[in-house]
Amino acid sequence: MKKTDSEVTENPFEPYYESLRQQMEEQDPVVLVGVIVALAVVVITCVFLKYFLTSKTVRSAVLLVGLCDSGKTLLFIRLLSGKFKRTQTSITDSSAPYKAKNDRVSNWLLQ
């Protein structure tokens, strides 16, 4: 059973394309502009995300953030000394260089 040339070249999505075209012709032009603007926003967002996520900037600081009395100072001291020390509410900022035990190259700045 051999197919004719018209059966081979017929697009299987042709009925869907035709239906979509008819729906777009019946719509208000404002809807079409809205769809185009939405697609443009999605494309621009993807481009910005790609640009910012693939930046080559090396970050070497860690910022400890949390609620009052949540243990930020205790965590800071435990990371630096490895020991438990009693702490009280900090009034000033704490900042110190930190080198991980298993990492010989990187230095981190704890803030």
Q: How large is the average pLDDT for residues 44-48?
A: 92
Span between the terminal Cα atoms of the chain, in Å: 76
- Are the beta carbons of 110 and 79 closer than 8 angstroms? yes
For residue 44, the model assigns a pLDDT of 95
Q: How many residues does the chain have?
A: 111
Q: How many domains does the chain have?
A: 2
Domain carrying residue 80: 61-110
Do residue 9 and residue 48 come from a single domain?
yes
Do residue 105 and residue 75 come from a single domain?
yes
Do residue 41 and residue 70 come from a single domain?
no
Do residue 10 and residue 47 come from a single domain?
yes
62 bridge partner residues: 110
Q: How large is the average pLDDT for residues 95-101?
A: 74
89 bridge partner residues: none
Q: Per-residue pLDDT for 72 more than 80?
A: yes
Do residue 83 and residue 46 come from a single domain?
no
Query: Which 8-state DSSP code applies to residue 22?
Result: H
Where residue 106 falls among pLDDT bands split at 50, 70, 90?
A: low
Query: Which 8-state DSSP code applies to residue 59?
Result: P
